[in-house]
A = this chain, B = another copy of it.
């Protein structure tokens, strides 16, 4: 059925290696050259046996731009007529890259400025924390391969818009379409929203098994997306700065042939190993989505407006923590859930806070939980605060005591 994909590794500066590759023989080029950071990058493998490093220090803009220009000329030559190019850079070099690319490939070949957005460690900054890198998407001609990919609808999207076909009325205004009987016309199944140029893909986490110890290693998901977007099986993919070889691994997994070039023997050895082992660690976050981590009751948190707090997720007992502290000890908060008694809620809050050096915590009560209780069974550190709705309810009950069935304990 399908051919075993071929993977070639070539050693050297791509400027001198590329001339050995035939013209117009490659369908996709992804390149990830140095970012003009003016720093030396190094990282040890997890077992600390080896250290990979490379210099990214340049004497001038000009030197860097010429470096890029010369290589892009050769890359352009080997790219097929329907081929696509993705150039990975960051805020240090976007403008330089764009100029070099425009000059060699023509400004009309520019298709998209892709923003790879991620959240990353490191806080305490006096600046805006950098949280994105840029990938420029160019094609060689007007007629290029492009497979439309789909994303899920944003949670805010109106269901009607997903399900109903639309039309324009007499004034050109968009309205929901109706048939002759006046009924709404269904849209048939929809796949989602076409992929946008902002890609939210988790950064390769320091603890990820996928991480191999090479600096600047890119997540497999990122490369998979690029490859799926612009190639089909058995196409040829080229990475002239292949580093740890993520592009080649992704290509092989997706049955694309690939060529990788790098100046470093260590990098090539590493790539070679990765291709043979072909390991991918699935990112839970990416597969299940960020929302699965939420367990603070988001709508209930609006009870707290007017006071400064930090929402807490990924914990069953605590919904938020006050920004203020009590003599250095944190002050956690829980909002009582529906179908949860005050005692249950209080115990969860207390339990989650027990080991955390807490002296005061607040529980927002939303109902009486089936019986009147005033915290007798709860530790004294738990302060119960009634929601306005509960307070109103209690006041009304006092005025006109209704025959309420109380569940006995």
**Interface of A toward B, CB cutoff 8 Å:** 61, 91, 94-95, 98-99, 102, 107, 110-115, 117, 119-132, 137, 146, 148, 152-164, 183-198, 285, 290-291, 293-294, 299-300, 302-307, 310-315, 318, 321-331, 333, 352, 355-357, 360, 362, 364, 366-367, 383, 385-393, 395-396, 399-400
User: Which one of A114, A186, A386 has the highest number of Cβ atoms from chain B below 10 Å of its Cβ?
Assistant: A186
Q: Are A313 and B128 in contact (CB under 8 A)?
A: no
Contact B184 A357 (CB under 8 A): yes
- Min CB–CB distance A219 → chain B (angstroms): 15
Query: Are the CB atoms of B159 and A360 closer together than 8 Å?
Result: no
> Nearest Cβ distance between residue A285 and chain B, in whole angstroms?
6
Judge whether B196 and A315 touch: CB under 8 Å: no
Assembly CA distance A344 to B300 (angstroms): 28
Inter-subunit contact A306/B127 (CB<8 Å) = no
Give the contacting residue for A329; candidates B61, B115, B186, B395; CB below 8 A.
B186
Q: Nearest B residue to A314 by beta-carbon distance? A: B158
A203 CB → nearest B CB, Å? 11
B389→A304 contact, CB < 8 A: yes
7 A-B residue pairings within 8 Å (CB atoms): A125-B194, A132-B197, A159-B312, A186-B328, A302-B305, A305-B389, A306-B367
Name A206's closest neighbour in chain B (CB-CB): B174
Separation of A124 and B190 alpha carbons in the complex (Å): 10
